[in-house]
Amino acid sequence: MSTARHDLAAAGARLASLGLSPGSSGNLSIREGSRVLITPTGTDLSAIDADGLTVLDLDGTHREGPRPSKEFPLHTAFYRRDPAAQAVVHLHSRHATAASCRLAWSEQSALPPLTPYFVMRVGQTPLLPYAPPGDARQAAELEQLPFPFRAALLQNHGPVVSGTSVTAAVDSAIELEETAALVLALGTLPKRLLTAEEASALAAKYGTPWTG
């Protein structure tokens, strides 16, 4: 079994143990050169069969294995737009999904710079307009957005996060969920956000996307 397959199965088990993939929701992928390994449709992330993953080309062509998750266009769009992306996590985690049902904080980010860790580990997270799950047009919009990002919220749907490794993508997805939980907990209460200067300094230091 390849290391990539093992890493993907371990990532699914970790996310499921944290309660971030209810039922058979969510899907994971990892890039192996010019191919993508992705969880098949209907996969329970707590029990990924590392030997039963689907293999796609970067353009989404199905090469091996069972039918892929219908969200595969989002995964391949991230890989095509960002050569540094080596793994993608899509979840229906409760708080990030709830945040996806709210209006975006700005054009570049659905969530504000509430904590330094959100800026350091995730960066700006645009809200993509609603589309039915698996809609290739939404994936095309993600691929073509003209500013940098490594994570997005799909309106009324949930988060999709990329990373330079499976571990990085999982950690970013967890941080995004925690930030969304904080935003929802604070509600309409007065709150202090990081200033533009503070957020920009963190983004520059940690190499994350934040354009304000």
Helix axes 3-17, 166-186, angle to 10 degrees: 20
Catalytic residue among 64, 117, 130, 198: 117
197 is catalytic: no
Contact criterion met (CB below 8 Å) for 125 and 172: no
- Domain-wise residue ranges, the chain: 3-206
User: pLDDT value at position 129?
Assistant: 98
Mind listing the pLDDT tens digit of every residue in the chain (212 residues)?
A: 589 999 999 999 999 999 999 888 999 999 999 999 999 999 999 999 999 999 999 999 999 999 999 999 999 999 999 999 999 999 999 999 999 999 999 999 999 999 999 999 999 999 999 999 999 999 999 999 999 999 999 999 999 999 999 999 999 999 999 999 999 999 999 999 999 999 999 999 999 999 97
Structure tokens that stand for 127 in this block? 């809200």
Q: Which single residue is written with the structure tokens 């069969």?
A: 49
User: pLDDT value at position 24?
Assistant: 85
Q: Which single residue is written with the structure tokens 């993509």?
A: 128
This prediction's pTM: 0.96
The CA–CA distances, whole Å, from 211 to 108, 114, 149 equal 7, 15, 9
What is the fold, at CATH topology level, of the domain defined by 3-206?
A: L-fuculose-1-phosphate Aldolase (3.40.225)
206 is catalytic: no
